[in-house]
Amino acid sequence: MGVEIKERRVTDAEFEEMTAFVFEYLAASVEKEEEGGRMRWYPWHSAEYRHNHILNVVELATEIAREEGADVDVTRVAALFHDVAKLETDQELHAEAGARVAREYLESRGEFPESFIHQVCRAIEQHSFQGDLTDLALETQCLIEADLLDKVGANGTALMLLRMGYEARTHMDTDEMVERVLERGYNAASRVESETAEGIAHQRLKRVKWFREWLEDEIAGMGD
């Protein structure tokens, strides 16, 4: 009748299956990796970190999409696959490679309409975009905002402290390193467009600022 069929939802079971696929894919990329690659010892190059980051981004992106009226299924599936190729590909190519992995998966499983696959893959492909987020589809914007937000708060601070351990720094460097988390947070806050993401960014920045203030308050010789 020429009426477009209403797109079916991605079921929870399908989403779970996709999650398992993405995690297996990441674990397999690490196994294939050759020893001693550049900075491979940093915590964020492990499959465990990447799993966790992806789950955080799925949660944040879903929240933003819901509040901002974006398509939640497109957004959460794109968030789930956005870094699937991160451990097997160079940083500059991982977005495109991830979109290819997602397309292959979505085309071969279930009966997802092409329009859905297209929107998901477009968001993944563009998630490293450095320009103005309002130039992008709303779902892509939600994904990028979520990806930025996962690095700016308490979690970003914890990772920075972990990195200090890997770099054999002492805790006296903490204020300087936390300052870097704050700078990244200000950058992220200036890039996000939606009110929801702005709210989350400010809340998370506040946590990092508090942490830095507490450090300066407790540790002699810090922050003078």
**Shortest separation between residue 74's beta carbon and Fe ion, angstroms:** 17
- Our CB check for Fe ion shows the closer of 53 and 212 to be 53
- Our CB check for Fe ion shows the closer of 61 and 106 to be 61
**Shortest separation between residue 12's beta carbon and Fe ion, angstroms:** 23
**Shortest separation between residue 52's beta carbon and Fe ion, angstroms:** 11
**Shortest separation between residue 112's beta carbon and Fe ion, angstroms:** 22
Structure-token pair, residue 46 = 């492990």
Report the C-alpha gap between 157 and 160 in whole angstroms.
5
Residues that bind Fe ion in the complex, under the rule CB under 5 A = 83, 147
Contact 165, 41 (CB under 8 A): no
- CA distances 184 to 79, 112, 149, 157, Å, are 21, 37, 10, 11
- Our CB check for Fe ion shows the closer of 71 and 147 to be 147
Q: Nearest CA to 166 among 50, 42, 48?
A: 42
Report the C-alpha gap between 110 and 127 in whole angstroms.
25
Contact 37, 87 (CB under 8 A): no
- Our CB check for Fe ion shows the closer of 78 and 174 to be 78
